[in-house]
Amino acid sequence: MDRIPILKFGNALLVTIQVDMHDRLATTLEEDLTSKIVAHSARGVLIDISALEIVDSFIGRMLDNIAAVSRILDADTVVVGMRPAVAITLVELGLSLAGVKTALNVERGMALIEGRLSESEADDADDED
């Protein structure tokens, strides 16, 4: 497997990482995701890492980068399903992923993105009035 599939889901993109990440896979994902956000004009990116058991500083930085890039392209990033061991590792590495939103599972992550979308739509509607 040399790339991770990116699924379109309404206004959001869904990425499920189900294999162990190695560095090239991570950079490929970053590039693919950036172009897909633009292509589909996505407003949210949901990254499910519930199957990810091992992280290193590179993967941690990749998540941060994706969040930063998405923010520039006006999309929210939500990382969901992080395992306790992974969370502890990231904290010990000093990566608290400040720019990334988190949720416990895909369901809650989706709700978070939808909540943001309806909020901004409401804002748009207010602006038009």
Contacts with another protein by CB under 8 A: the residue count is: 20
Token pair belonging to 13: 């993109």
In the chain, the N- to C-terminal Cα span, in Å, equals: 50
Beta-carbon contacts of 84 under 8 Å, excluding residues fewer than 6 positions away, are none
Measured from the Cβ of residue 129, the count of other Cβ atoms closer than 10 Å reads: 4
Q: Which is nearer to another protein, 29 or 86 (CB)?
A: 86
Q: Which is nearer to another protein, 4 or 48 (CB)?
A: 48
Contact track, another protein, 102-121, x by CB under 8 A: xxxx--xx------------
CA distance 52 to 46: 15
Question: C-beta of 127: minimal distance to another protein in Å?
Answer: 28
Question: C-beta of 122: minimal distance to another protein in Å?
Answer: 18
Measured from the Cβ of residue 45, the count of other Cβ atoms closer than 10 Å reads: 27
Site for another protein in 41-100 (CB under 8 A): 79-84, 86-88, 90-92, 96-97
The helix-helix angle for 57-72 and 23-40 (nearest 10°) equals: 10
Q: Which is nearer to another protein, 26 or 47 (CB)?
A: 47
Q: Which is nearer to another protein, 13 or 82 (CB)?
A: 82
- Residues near another protein (CB under 8 A) are 79-84, 86-88, 90-92, 96-97, 102-105, 108-109
